[in-house]
Amino acid sequence: MTSTAPPRRKTWWRRPWIAPLMMVVAAFLAFSVPPYLTFDPAHSRLEPPPGNDLYYPLLVAHVLCGTVAMATACFQVWPAFRARHRTGHRITGRVYVYAGALPAGVLGLYVGWHTTAGPSVLVANLVGSALWVVTTATGLWMARRRRYDEHRRWMSRSFALAMSIALSRVINVPAMIVLTPQVDTAFGGNEVLMRNTATSIGVWLSPLLLLLLTDWVLERRKPGARRAAPRGAAAGVRLATG
């Protein structure tokens, strides 16, 4: 008679990306959010359009909702938390959707439309915000229909878009380094145009890279993408999807 060992519980250190992810999110929020907690437009990292008194309050709301989204998203993608604390997963998931991603995405449409960083950044912001709303709403819809595999896939994409703002700031640094020497040539001495171009590279490239990475990981975790079980293996054994 053979005994079946219980499945091994996966501890946090078996997912080595969790701790770095949380530290990156904490560092990004600690740097980006405090200026908006003063509710003083003079401290804003984005210049409000002249004569638009609605822009700054909606920008602050967008930042605060985005903060909620990034913080709760870390727990949503943490497999151990999801497996051991199902109630906590559902609660943080609702907070992520209703107090984070959806309002931040909708507000991002307004903020993005009124950007002063040029048309390329404007379009990138609108596309990114719209995709964030669509992926989040689709993930919520799949959960309500109890199609949980598809729910995880769509919410993984939503998570990627939530984190794209942090990656865009990283990409902006090498973009600025590369483009700065070309101010007098490619940009005709217009430093503002050069900065807008560097910003454009970040806001376009960051969601694209993260969405491609996310779908690559999701495809690798499909049962059909793994090596078929050898002949003679016990029937009915399911391949884990992570």
Look at residue 13 in the predicted model and tell me its pLDDT: 46
Question: What is the predicted pLDDT for the residue at 52?
Answer: 86
Contact call for residues 105 and 136 (beta carbons, < 8 A):
yes
Q: Could you read off the pLDDT of 37-50 as tens digits, one per residue? A: 988 888 888 888 88
Report pLDDT for 181.
92
Q: How far apart are the first and last CA of the chain?
A: 30
Q: CA distances (Å), 135 to each of 128, 180, 208, 231, in order?
A: 11, 36, 14, 40
Answer whether residue 14 shows pLDDT above 60: no
Which position has the token pair 């060992």? 5
| Pair of tokens at residue 238 | 């399911």
User: In angstroms, rounded to a whole number, what is the distance separating the alpha carbons of residues 224 and 220?
Assistant: 9
**pLDDT for res 64:** 95
82: pLDDT strictly greater than 80: no
In this structure, how many other beta carbons lie within 10 angstroms of the beta carbon of residue 187? 17
Here the tokens at position 199 are 């910003």
pLDDT of residue 233: 38
Q: Which is higher by pLDDT, 232 or 136?
A: 136
How confident is the model at residue 223, as a pLDDT? Answer: 61
As a whole number, mean pLDDT of residues 84-89 equals 78
Give backbone dihedrals phi and psi of 5, rounded to 5 degrees, phi first. -70, 145
112 CB burial (10 A radius; 0-12, 13-18, 19+): buried
pLDDT tens for 178-194 read 999 998 888 888 899 99
DSSP state of 40: -
Residue spans of beta strands (DSSP E) within the chain? none
Q: Angle, nearest 10°, between helix axes 102-113 and 55-76?
A: 140
Neighbours of 22 (CB within 10 A): 14
CB 154 within 8 A of CB 97: no
pLDDT tier at 2, thresholds 50, 70, 90: very low
Whether residue 157 contacts residue 211, with contact meaning beta carbons closer than 8 Å, is answered with yes
Asked if residue 5 has pLDDT above 70, the reply is: no
Residue 15: pLDDT band with limits 50, 70, 90: low
State if pTM tops 0.75: yes
